[in-house]
Amino acid sequence: MTAGRAEQVTDREQQVLDRIDRARRRRPKVREERVTMSHGAGGKATQTLIEAVFLEEFRNPLLEPLEDAAELRVPGARLALTTDSYVVSPLFFPGGDIGDLAINGTVNDLSVSGATPMYLSAGFILEEGFPVADLTRVAASMRVAAAAAGVSVVTGDTKVVQRGKADGCYINTAGVGVIDRDITLGVARARPGDAVIVSGPIGDHGVTIMLARGELDIEADLCSDTAPLNGLVAALLDAVPGVRAMRDATRGGVATILNEIAVAAGVGVLASEDDIPVRPEVRGACELLGIDPMYVACEGRLVAVVPGDQASEAVRALRGHPLGAQAAVIGEVTASQPGIVRLTTAFGGTRIVDLLVGDPLPRIC
Amino acid sequence: MRFVDEFRDADKARALAAKIAALCEPGRQYKFMEVCGGHTHTIYKHGLEDYLPEAITLVHGPGCPVCVIPMGRLDDAMHLAARPDVIMTSFGDMMRVPGSNGSFFDAKANGTDIRMVYSPLDSLKIARQNPDRKVVFMAIGFETTAPSTAMTMLRAAAEGLGNFSVFCNHITIIPAIKAILDSPDLRLDGFIGPGHVSTVIGCRPYEFIARNYRKPVVVAGFEPLDILQSIYMLMLQLSQDRSEVENQYSRVVPWNGNPVALKAIGETMELRPYFEWRGLGFISHSALKVREKYAAMDAELLFEVPGVRVADPKACQCGEVLKGVLKPWECKVFGTACTPETPIGTCMVSPEGACAAYYNYGRMHRTRVPEAARAAGSRAGGS
């Protein structure tokens, strides 16, 4: 922090902060009797559900890091395996639809794990009455997205449920890729002095979807950022083999990833609001709704942690790719305040950026 | 972004911080209450306290509409929502507030038809689309949101919509401020007056604070520079031994308020003899109910509500926090038993609640800018 600034936390307050820290490290427990929408929002409630229910039952060394894809070692190769389900509403939105989202999302989970995505599966859950024309349109955009990413959909499954039991069309995709570089990535590898980079403007997808639902009577010239990141990742890894970790910023936004870095590596993260690229349309919509773009989903942006002395090289490599034209260093990894993400605000103050419990809720006034 | 960035200019903030620091008298401590939860949110979200000298403490007031809703009213709303013929509609802020048996979110997961809306007009839309159901709007908020409820009722009446009603929990800010001024627990030096409420009621209603209680009031906007400037204006009044009502937010707040909005409220609602506030207890003439003329839209008359008073959980100290007697972190359960994931008290729920704001944004080592650290009487020095 700036020299000459005076500490503002009293001893008594510090004791409380320590007590809270200990409370936050306790084993997560789901207190709700039923699943609520918060459990699917990608924030604290989701994390608690995953750790308390799924990790508890499935615990194994491959699952435990809870990375975007699991790394499998088979004779002669390192493979990455991931899966993701897509339940977006509306199915068609400016810049994309559920089809390309389902391809790109899985391609991206593999890419940020350092793998070259190769084969995908696709499972469809369709609601009785869903227009075949829409299904054809979804499948066509999956074909185009797969071709763009250089992957093939090689197996699949189709189920139909009664009208009212699903919302039109849900898709699950799983993907396999090969890790052919000699690298090991993981958010736990972040070290003090590392730089945190984002590959482009944040929040485009989330705000586009919110507006496409038509409930807000706000119009903006905005498109989802859904895109396959494998090309961008390759450009980055070619230039900076020392990359420590990458994540694609989906549900929970960039804020959630920064928190995952801080907790997994036991480090602090200090980001600077002025440096985070956000389109004016996204900022405007978020201001109106009282939500923070840091928590809004992207579908074609990655966050990378790289050693500090390679940050400018990394940004240059990302900017050389069309999907990374607005890449920027948004913060640094610190030894101080481990487990906590701080933000220097554009106003010049500092604050915490914590995980949200669930979806960001619009404020009353 | 225009209209926002100019009110978040760090250079201007530093200049103001220096002017504020220069007005601090050696050895004197200053306590200002920001009445409105929106201000609390701004203060934490932008890290505004970094610009204030140690001698100035901001005390968070009762102006968070979600925070002051007593548990009994929420239980009443749950009871209404549980009726199979009812669709309950609510602002998003309200969804996570815990009643005695969980929140709206929990009830929704149990199959109760509760829908989140952005405006009461959305409730009206739902009412039109569901003529065979009864749509209730959970109306909460101060004079800020009351006009939109009122205008919605007027529109429903004009359309002759028979299946829309309001569960009215609107409250008024002045009696709450008076309750705080009369409370023996707290000594304040001045008020940062609520901005949005004042767009409706104007600045006049605060004059008794300056006149009778000799405390300066500055009605402030919601950008961080607005708040910093109002603190400067308060400090200036104190240094000149003045106590007046001043309007920092004159770009939005007219001195006499908004007569159209006031008329709409007056047409559809009237004062209740008394109303319970969480933490503050019963305050007379502090809330609004639906006027008899619009009884057909009053959910309290249309449906049976239990109307039982429910005591706050024993461990909860929201009352002390809402009165500014305790800082959020001084509450016994803050951050351990009571967190945003599992809130015990309302102050931990709304982003405008003092506890949620502090937990989400302020729970860390903060450092003052040098301009603020140089104030008279503050223990400036290296960190």
pLDDT digits (tens, 9 = 90+) for A223-265: 999 999 999 999 999 999 999 999 999 999 999 999 999 999 9
Which residues from chain A sit within 8 angstroms of residue B56, using beta carbons?
none
Q: What is the pLDDT of chain A when averaged over all its residues?
A: 92
A349/B379 touch (CB, cutoff 8 Å), yes or no: no
Query: Average pLDDT of A97-119?
Result: 97
What pLDDT does residue A228 have? Answer: 97
Nearest to A228 by CA among A199, A186, A260, A266: A199
List B residues 253-272 in contact with A (Cβ-Cβ < 8 A): none
With the C-alpha atoms ordered A262, A268, A274, A275, is the resulting torsion angle positive or negative?
Answer: negative
Residues 6+ apart with CB under 8 A from B356: B340, B343, B347, B348, B349, B350
Pairing outcome for strands B114-117 and B134-141: unpaired
Residues of chain A with C-beta less than 8 angstroms from the C-beta of B35: none
- Nearest-angstrom CA–CA distance, A343 and A351: 5
Closest approach of B242 to chain A, Cα-based (Å) = 30
Count of C-beta atoms within a 10 Å radius of residue B239: 12
CB contact B141 to A (< 8 Å): yes
Could you report the per-residue pLDDT of A332-342, keeping only the tens digit for each?
Answer: 999 999 999 99
Q: Please, where are the H alpha helices in chain B?
A: 10-23, 37-45, 71-82, 104-109, 120-129, 146-159, 173-182, 195-201, 207-212, 224-239, 259-268, 299-302, 318-322, 354-357, 370-373
Nearest to A6 among B13, B92, B381 (CB): B381
Segment B283-310, tens digit of pLDDT: 999 999 999 999 999 999 999 999 988 8
Confidence of residue B376 (pLDDT cuts 50, 70, 90): low
Partners of residue A36 in chain B, C-beta under 8 Å: 105-106, 108-109
Does B66 contact A at CB distance below 8 Å?
A: yes
Give the pLDDT confidence score for residue A217 in this predicted structure: 75
Using the structure block, give the residue that is written with the tokens 């481990």. A338
**What is the SS3 assignment for B7-57?**
HCCHHHHHHHHHHHHHHCCCCCCEEEEEEEHHHHHHHHHCCHHHHCCCCEE
Convert the pLDDT of each residue in A265-279 to its tens digit: 999 999 999 999 999
CA separation for the pair A195, A272 (Å, rounded): 12
Give the mean pLDDT of B176-188: 88
Residue among B47, B116, B330 whose CB faces A350 most closely:
B47
pLDDT for B381 equals 37
Q: pLDDT (tens digit, 9 = 90+) per residue, A38-63? A: 898 888 889 999 999 999 999 999 99
Q: Which residue has the higher pLDDT, B62 or A215?
A: B62
Query: Which pLDDT does position A365 carry in this prediction?
Result: 54
Q: Which amino acid is at A35?
A: V
Q: For residue A84, what pLDDT band results from cuts at 50, 70 and 90?
A: very high
If you search the block for the tokens 């409630």, which residue do you land on? A45
- pLDDT tens digits for range B80-135: 999 999 999 999 889 988 888 889 999 999 999 999 998 999 999 999 999 999 99
Residue B292 Cα, gap to closest chain A Cα (Å)? 27
Q: Which residues pair with A125 in a beta bridge?
A: A159, A170
| Minimum distance, in Å, between the CA of residue B236 and any CA atom of chain A | 23
The model carries a pTM of 0.89
